[in-house]
Structure 1
């Protein structure tokens, strides 16, 4: 009797009572457009990504093969690509993981490459000959696997809090109206970096892949993305020819006339050269382009380029910078040729050996508006400190950048933004 009464009560509960939260619907962010006035990407037509995609062009992808099919060679068909779990770009068509030895061809061998182009015997000429040819052929094989072209009217969004693209280089080339959200971009590792003997005066190693590269792209929104070298930090790589054997390029580079970009609530971590806006002092075609907004982002353990800007009209506000006690550090904000950076209410946390004047470096640049800066909890006049510290060694910077940002939401104080970004920036933290 008691069992029948219990069963009847359970049935009545199931009929008349809804489970907790049953009336709530989880918001599907995959069709969200960028909000009006949210940075440069909201200018003009705004940025909607793949919001217009029909059901046949909404994909849930769990492996490299699925991602390739969904991207459709970078077609401009509106599409939404939902990334579930971890997708390893370094896999073959059967899903088997590939390592550097699997790509090597033509007799390429790292030790033979180093021996062939040792500056003590090779000199300062650009590498050429059998080992460089083999390196190029091997690099082309890896590029076929790890480079993914993103076309116009595309949204790439992570499902849940654990979506990862590992080893991949997403490249938005000449495309318009693209959204990348809520996904971790991890370890775009170059198996075959090239030695450049004339780079920087001392030579340097050059890696091929940015985790995300905007190349002539327009109307792009990058939001709640985490980008890092996690798994293979360059700090663990050896020193070859007295230079760090770099395996990674940028985390997010915005170059070649890209324009109208908003980067928000994202985290860039544990990397050397994080973000380049404008790729050359002589690329005068970038004038009037490279309009970028960076807000509520975290740069943690970034050595330099957070960002470095040429020609761009960049609004940099409410960002958080963290320099670890034991990490290498050069600068955060790079003021380069004809750049016009409007920086406000950014917070910096550094160890004792880093001074406020170290946060900025200039190469041929002269315009930086910097207000509301917090340095280790204290307000500082970043421009005055920079000019005083670098007097006689570099040209003075002026606060007149020739424009005032208008496309933005509320600008919080640096202290408020600092706490909010620490809690909310990065993949898996959309609320």
Structure 2
């Protein structure tokens, strides 16, 4: 039978329609995890920050039933993380996991005596010219070495850790996302770990001395494709105001809340709440780390709340960091220093953020220049009005001028809100309890 041109056109159209249907189904299958109602099965949506680039960030979304577990203790979490190696896994956290339930005394090496430590290294005795050494410092170091493995948990590749409900979290533990790929952490309240054995360094802080501590609530170290979403970072029951003072310096037992360092790359940090902390969020930890950090440390921060923090929100070295639609609340009571730290070879873009500042705190303090690096800071609002942050900084610090123009334009923004709605939107929805 001879086919007419009309029949041939119908067949071509039908074939094209079938092909389109196949492509649509394929695309739907590829994005199904991103739109799942189960927070543990959700992936970072396409176009949502640096973490969505390349292979994207799916965490454990593809885990089979044998690799989905619920944990209720710190030891249970560590065991679940070890189970199955790098196979996709989903770990649901129910309730609060306490990594230091037995207290600091459980880690102390025999013979360590803090009162003796203070007596031995009192500046009136030891001075400020050399680092501490001797038996009590050795015992302090041994005690610290016992604490570290107990309160740190190594997170493998292809893992999602997600809190169940509004009150799931970790107290005193540190999530170590080191040298891995494809990790998601969501819906957890992370109370900063306490370093039980800070070291006194008499030579620090211009030879006035300082107590130095370790352990972040979470550290992304040399890892790629990480999504930190809807978590609350807090000092909880142990804010700095409760810490004692020795040798005229706060006995600092906290380090950071979230650090992204040592060549980490392709990270999205969204809808988290960072509360009541000093050294909050650091991206790049050393000016001398070009070998690992140059060309990496690509991080997106959006719709995060920073409330009652002192500094580093974030401090940046090397990285192309896109910080937009974040909310910063400063109170009269906090010892606020700055929000954005402009560090060595950084290329920070800070746009469409909102700041709520009390009387007496200048918008010129929002930016802090640590090194000569270009920065883009457009469309930011302070107390409901748009403010040129670079201009006000340079006017107040004419001897420490910031250069405008980071040299790149972010495109990976899934949602951009008017900064004027952020106090209500981010203030209400950021933090644990809102994932999914």
Q: Quick check: TM above 0.5?
A: yes
Candidates 113, 116, 130, aligned match of 2:117 = 113
* Structure 2 residue aligned with 1:61: 71
Structure 1 window deviating more from structure 2 (128-137 vs 70-79): it is 70-79
Q: Tell me if 1:197 matches 2:202.
A: yes
* Structure 2 residue aligned with 1:270: 276
Candidates 330, 337, 345, aligned match of 1:330 = 337
Structure 1 window deviating more from structure 2 (65-74 vs 200-209): it is 65-74
- Report Cα offsets for 1:362-410 as digits up to 9, x if no partner: 1113211111111122211101011111102x2x212221110011113
- Matches of 2:180 and 2:83 in 1, distance apart? 12
* Structure 1 residue aligned with 2:39: 29
- Report Cα offsets for 1:220-268 as digits up to 9, x if no partner: 0000000111011112112222221111110000000100000000000
Q: Does structure 2 conserve the Cα–Cα contact (< 8 Å) formed by 1:74 and 1:149?
A: no
SS in structure 2 opposite 1:133?
helix
Uncovered stretches (5+) of structure 2, i.e. residues with no partner: 1-35
Task: Provide the aligned length of Structure 1 versus Structure 2.
Answer: 398
Q: Tell me if 1:295 matches 2:295.
A: no
TM-score, normalising length: structure 1: 0.90
Alpha carbons of structure 1 residues 74 and 418: separation in structure 2 relative to 1, 3 Å: farther
**C-alpha deviation, 1:74, in angstroms:** 9.3
- Residues 32-431 of structure 1: pairs in structure 2 closer than 5 A: 32-72=42-82, 75-90=85-100, 97-123=101-127, 124-201=129-206, 202-285=208-291, 286-392=293-399, 394=400, 396-431=401-436
The RMSD of aligned alpha carbons is: 1.4
- Matches of 2:390 and 2:58 in 1, distance apart? 37
Q: Does structure 1 conserve the Cα–Cα contact (< 8 Å) formed by 2:39 and 2:435?
A: no
TM-score, normalising length: structure 2: 0.89
Alpha carbons of structure 1 residues 354 and 256: separation in structure 2 relative to 1, 3 Å: same
SS in structure 2 opposite 1:140?
helix
**C-alpha deviation, 1:158, in angstroms:** 0.4
Q: Does structure 1 conserve the Cα–Cα contact (< 8 Å) formed by 2:67 and 2:84?
A: no
Q: Does structure 2 conserve the Cα–Cα contact (< 8 Å) formed by 1:303 and 1:330?
A: yes
**C-alpha deviation, 1:77, in angstroms:** 2.2
- Matches of 1:360 and 1:242 in 2, distance apart? 29
- Matches of 1:330 and 1:113 in 2, distance apart? 32
SS in structure 2 opposite 1:80?
strand
